[in-house]
Amino acid sequence: MMWYWGEGVHWWGWLLGTVAMVAFWALLVWAIWYVVAAVRRPENHSPESHGPGDPKRILDERLARGEIDAEEYRRLRSVMREGDTHVTGEEHAA
C-alpha cells in the first residue's frame, strides 16, 4: 500500500495520533460535564435570586443552617430594608 513512501507511519505518528484522540475524547467529556453542571446549578432555577451574592438568599441560608437565630434574622432583615449596611462589631457578635 505504501510502496513509494517507505515503511509507512513511524512511531511518532502513532504516538501523535493517540495523544490527539485522547485529547479529543477528554475535551468532549469535559464539555458534556460542563453543560450538565451548568444546567443543574441551583441559582439557575431560582427566579427571585439576583446572583450568587444576593444578601437575602445568604441570610435565609444562614438561618436555615442555624448560624443565626430568628431574632438576629429579623434584625438583619430590617437593616437591609433600611439600606444601612454598616453593622458594628458589637452588633455582629451578638
Q: In this model, does residue 45 exceed pLDDT 60?
A: no
* 67/92 same-domain check: yes
* Domain assignment present for 45: no
Q: Is residue 46 part of a domain?
A: no
Domain region containing 55: 51-94
DSSP3 helix / strand / coil % (the chain, rounded to 5): 65, 0, 35
Question: pLDDT tens across 57-86, in order?
Answer: 888 999 999 999 999 999 999 988 887 555
Q: What is the mean pLDDT of residues 23-49?
A: 83
Least confident range from 25-29, 43-47, 48-52, 90-94: namely 90-94
- Residues 64 and 90 both lie in one domain: yes
In a domain, 62, yes or no: yes
Residues 29 and 60 in one domain: no
